[in-house]
Amino acid sequence: DIVMTQSPSSLAVSAGETVTINCKSSQSLLSSGNQKNYLAWYQQKPGQSPKLLIYLASTRESGVPDRFIGSGSGTDFTLTISSVQAEDLADYYCQQHYSYPLTFGSGTKLEIK
Amino acid sequence: EVQLVESGGGLVQPGRSMKLSCAASGFTFNNYDMAWVCQAPKKGLEWVATISYDGSSTYYRDSVKGRFTISRDNAKSTLYLQMDSLRSEDTATYYCARHPGANWGQGVMVTVSS
């Protein structure tokens, strides 16, 4: 199974700051066939269902603000949230869908000071 | 607008069965693989199972293999999860999702307890 190691587990920032969340996979998520990384990022606000933010490591889902940026390749990935806003209070998860069983990172709780 | 609406959750005793349903609308259901993902109380997300767009292939996490069965009825645009031999550790909110997570339902709570 591919293990997804996500860090930090929590962080607290002030509105306007930039946040970086890291996700490392135990195996490469890069497909040699199409050169795509099968890594997604989700946001889960309190009491809500998860919402897809980023897919294929760096493609923003429609309607997601451009302050959410996904980057990385192979085994190391990053979600950057620039100019954090109060509405970004949420848990964030990475997920690999390169191979079964699909696996998620343990999550990052983002708090706004 | 894509909508996924789960139903069928509740309280069930250990060892018993429960069947979840997920009614889909707003997209061509039979074009997409579908998945179930669960979240234990105050815990993270765990993938449970995926079924291919035509139902010909299914995939499960190890802890539910042989106990859970994912299926679909494309004529009804509905996804199912049959859960047998339920254990206390299966207690969670279960979400259906357009694989691997493009859209999610609101979730349904399953509590396994005597």
Is A49 in contact with B50 (Cβ distance < 8 A)? no
Q: Which of residues 82-101 of B touch A (CB under 8 A)?
A: 95, 99-101
pLDDT value at residue B100: 85
pLDDT value at residue B67: 98
Query: To the nearest whole angstrom, how far is the Cα of A107 from the nearest Cα of chain B?
Result: 6
CA-CA-CA-CA torsion sign (B41, B45, B51, B53):
positive
Give the pLDDT mean for B34-39: 98
| Tokens linked to B77 | 């645009």
Nearest CB neighbour to A104, from listed B45, B104, B105:
B45
| Tokens linked to B70 | 């994912």
Mean pLDDT computed over every residue of chain B: 97
With pLDDT > 70 as the criterion, what percentage of chain A qualifies?
Answer: 100
Give the pLDDT mean for A10-18: 96
Nearest CB neighbour to B107, from listed A49, A52, A105:
A49
Give the pLDDT mean for A55-77: 97
By the 8 A CB rule, do A15 and A86 touch?
yes
Residue A46, φ and ψ in degrees, nearest 5: -55, 125
